[in-house]
């Protein structure tokens, strides 16, 4: 089974991760919930609510890191969340700039080119 997600499915996963406890799911979530549950990105709780699994959290974090790398390559002053900036820095994909923001490293550029190629 293919675990690659469409843009719509990633959007639904993001919405589920920020859904309040008593919140109502959007049409996007309803459309994609069955596939996301089947791939173990989300789970149904006993009360019928949707919750995101560890696999789903990891997928969203990777997506945020890729989006952050793209943003830094376009604009060195693009804002990054603390956890994404910390992770990309530890992996050697970005380095902090003296005047603020981040620069993408050669390793980061190569990783981004590889991601874009696929």
pLDDT digits (tens, 9 = 90+) for 67-106: 999 999 999 999 999 999 999 999 999 999 998 899 999 9
Q: Concatenated DSSP letters for 31-73?
A: HHHHHHHHTTSEEE-TTS-EEE-HHHHHHHHHHHHHHHHHHHH
Sign of CA dihedral 10, 93, 110, 77: positive
Question: 42-71: per-residue pLDDT in tens?
Answer: 999 898 888 999 999 999 999 999 999 999
Query: What ranges do the domains of the chain cover?
Result: 7-52, 58-117
pLDDT at position 1: 37
Q: Which pTM does this prediction carry?
A: 0.87
What does the alpha-carbon distance between residue 38 and residue 44 come to, in Å, rounded to a whole number? Answer: 11
Q: How confident is the model at residue 25 (pLDDT cuts 50, 70, 90)?
A: confident
């Amino acid at each position: 089974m293919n675990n690659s997600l469409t843009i719509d499915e990633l959007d639904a996963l993001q919405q589920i991760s920020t859904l309040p406890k008593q919140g109502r799911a959007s049409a996007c979530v309803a459309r994609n919930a069955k596939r996301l549950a089947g791939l173990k990105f989300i789970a149904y709780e006993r009360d019928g609510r949707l919750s995101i699994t560890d696999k789903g959290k990891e997928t969203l974090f990777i997506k945020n890191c890729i989006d952050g790398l793209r943003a830094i390559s376009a604009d060195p002053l693009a804002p990054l969340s603390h956890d994404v900036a910390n992770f990309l820095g530890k992996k050697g994909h970005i380095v902090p700039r003296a005047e603020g923001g981040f620069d993408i490293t050669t390793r980061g550029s190569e990783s981004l080119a590889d991601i874009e190629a696929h």
